[in-house]
């Protein structure tokens, strides 16, 4: 079993990532931390709680996190994810009570309580994790593994010409996280799933149709909500000139968190540009030792998208 602490800015693709984890018998979500990103934190928290309810995960701790980046003003992207962050889905409100501890505190206390056991998965801006690392600099060695969806390596950005959303929203936080892992012992590098790979994970409508059929048809509430969310994501990508499809950034990172062997990796030293007039929020990977610094990231560079979707359909279908 993979025991997870998940940090999200739910988000259409974060939603599917949560459902994918909930559906997998090999995954146990210990806590979900919410951060501002796609939509403000309060809405992220509502969306996250509703999805967990729909998945029957009533006891999973939901922690409210930072309401904005460390330094930068908050930007959100309702254009990408819909006014409430879940496309056309009209989620039933959750009545669950939220955790009394903040997201950063939950990261630290859970990692200390289960040293070497927890897999961290971040599918939103890295604000909460950066705050947690300020509280507990040895967090990299307390976690079993960390998987981050963020950045873009030898590949364009989706927020500026060179920057990816999760890093662009809070570049200072992303830099603090990569710097913290630079200071950690070798072998603790986080797995980083950037746009270079996640944009190759294209959900086409036929995969969604297969998923709907496998999961019991469009009238099953959770299936209807997922389809309503993803339809908006298809339309967004189409409006961007990508075609009627959707990139599965966060679900792919979730799958990697459970089964890292589905991807191939290249280690590198990653840093984040904070000052560039054109390139703020860009992830820069040094693969040739120009900086003379130890690697601090395992960048996912190859996978089999078809196998990812077969797996998604099988697992969510069986849920």
Residues that bind ligand BDR (CB under 6 A): 11, 13-14, 38, 77, 80, 123, 149, 158, 164-166, 249-250
Residue 51 or 295 with smaller CB distance to Ca ion: 51
The tokens describing 175, both together, are 């830099």
Q: Which residues, 6+ apart, have CB-to-CB distance to 135 below 8 Å?
A: 104, 105, 108
Q: Is residue 136 within 8 Å of residue 113, measured between CB atoms?
A: no
Give bridge partners of residue 286 from the DSSP assignment.
Answer: 269
Task: Indicate whether 124 belongs to the interface with Ca ion (CB under 5 A).
Answer: yes
Residue 38 or 162 with smaller CB distance to Ca ion: 38
- Alpha-carbon span 153 to 299, nearest angstrom: 8
Task: Indicate whether 194 belongs to the interface with Ca ion (CB under 5 A).
Answer: no
- Calculate ∠ Cα 305-306-309, nearest 5°: 90
Q: Residue with the closest Cβ to ligand BDR?
A: 165
Residue 48 or 94 with smaller CB distance to Ca ion: 48
CB of 141 to ligand BDR, least distance (A): 26
| H helix or E strand, kind and range, residue 144 | none
DSSP SS3 for 16: helix
Q: Which of 81, 237, 247, 249 is catalytic?
A: 249
The tokens describing 89, both together, are 């889905």
Task: Indicate whether 41 belongs to the interface with Ca ion (CB under 5 A).
Answer: no
CB of 294 to ligand BDR, least distance (A): 27
DSSP SS3 for 198: helix
CB of 5 to ligand BDR, least distance (A): 16
Burial class (CB in 10 A: 0-12, 13-18, 19+), 276: middle
Task: Indicate whether 171 belongs to the interface with Ca ion (CB under 5 A).
Answer: no
65 binds, among Ca ion, ligand BDR, none (CB under 5 to 8 A by kind): none
- Alpha-carbon span 144 to 101, nearest angstrom: 22
Binding residue for Ca ion, selected from 76, 123, 159, 198, defined by CB under 5 A: 123
CB of 133 to ligand BDR, least distance (A): 20
DSSP SS3 for 4: strand
CB of 226 to ligand BDR, least distance (A): 15
Place of tokens 């630079």: 182
φ and ψ of 213, to 5 deg? -65, -45
Active-site residue flag, 225: no
The side-by-side arrangement of strands in the sheet containing 263-272 is 61-64, 27-34, 2-8, 118-122, 145-149, 191-193, 297-303, 263-272, 283-286
Footprint on residues 220-259 left by Ca ion (CB under 5 A): 250
- Alpha-carbon span 7 to 104, nearest angstrom: 10
Task: Indicate whether 150 belongs to the interface with Ca ion (CB under 5 A).
Answer: no
Task: Indicate whether 125 belongs to the interface with Ca ion (CB under 5 A).
Answer: no
Site size with Ca ion, rule: CB under 5 A? 6
Rounded to 10°, the helix 41-54/221-239 angle is 140
Residue 14 or 53 with smaller CB distance to Ca ion: 14
CB of 305 to ligand BDR, least distance (A): 16
228 binds, among ligand BDR, Ca ion, none (CB under 5 to 8 A by kind): none
Binding mask 279-308 for Ca ion (x = CB under 5 A): ------------------------------
Residue 60 or 248 with smaller CB distance to ligand BDR: 248
Task: Indicate whether 82 belongs to the interface with Ca ion (CB under 5 A).
Answer: no
The catalytic residue positions are 249
Which residues of the shown chain bind Ca ion in the complex (CB under 5 A)? 9, 11, 14, 123-124, 250
């Amino acid at each position: 079993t993979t025991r997870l602490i998940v940090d999200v800015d739910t988000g259409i693709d974060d939603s599917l990532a949560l459902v994918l984890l909930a559906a997998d018998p090999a995954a146990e979500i210990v806590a979900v931390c919410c951060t501002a990103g796609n939509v403000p934190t309060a809405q992220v928290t509502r969306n996250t709680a509703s999805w967990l309810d729909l998945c029957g995960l009533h006891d999973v701790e939901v922690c409210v996190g930072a309401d904005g980046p460390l330094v930068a003003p908050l930007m959100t992207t309702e254009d990408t994810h819909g006014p409430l962050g879940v496309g056309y889905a009209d989620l039933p409100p959750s009545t669950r009570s939220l955790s009394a501890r903040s997201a950063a505190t939950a990261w630290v206390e859970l990692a200390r309580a289960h040293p070497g056991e927890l897999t961290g998965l971040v599918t939103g801006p890295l604000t909460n994790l950066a705050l947690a690392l300020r509280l507990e600099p040895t967090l990299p060695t307390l976690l079993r593994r960390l998987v981050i969806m963020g950045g873009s390596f030898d590949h364009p950005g989706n927020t500026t010409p060179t920057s990816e959303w999760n890093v662009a929203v809070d570049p200072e936080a992303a830099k603090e996280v990569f710097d913290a892992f630079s200071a950690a012992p070798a072998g603790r590098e986080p797995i980083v799933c950037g746009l270079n790979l996640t944009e190759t994970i294209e959900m086409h409508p036929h995969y969604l149709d297969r998923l709907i059929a496998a999961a019991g048809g469009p009238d099953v509430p959770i299936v209807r909500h997922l389809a309503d969310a993803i339809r908006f994501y298809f339309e967004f990508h189409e409006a961007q000139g990508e075609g009627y499809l959707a990139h599965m950034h966060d679900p792919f990172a979730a799958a990697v968190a459970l089964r890292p062997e589905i991807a191939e990796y290249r280690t590198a030293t990653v840093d984040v540009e904070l000052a560039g007039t054109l390139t703020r929020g860009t992830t820069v990977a040094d693969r040739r030792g120009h900086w003379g610094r130890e690697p601090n990231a395992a960048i996912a560079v190859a996978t089999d998208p078809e196998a990812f979707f077969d797996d998604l359909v099988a697992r969510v279908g069986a849920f």
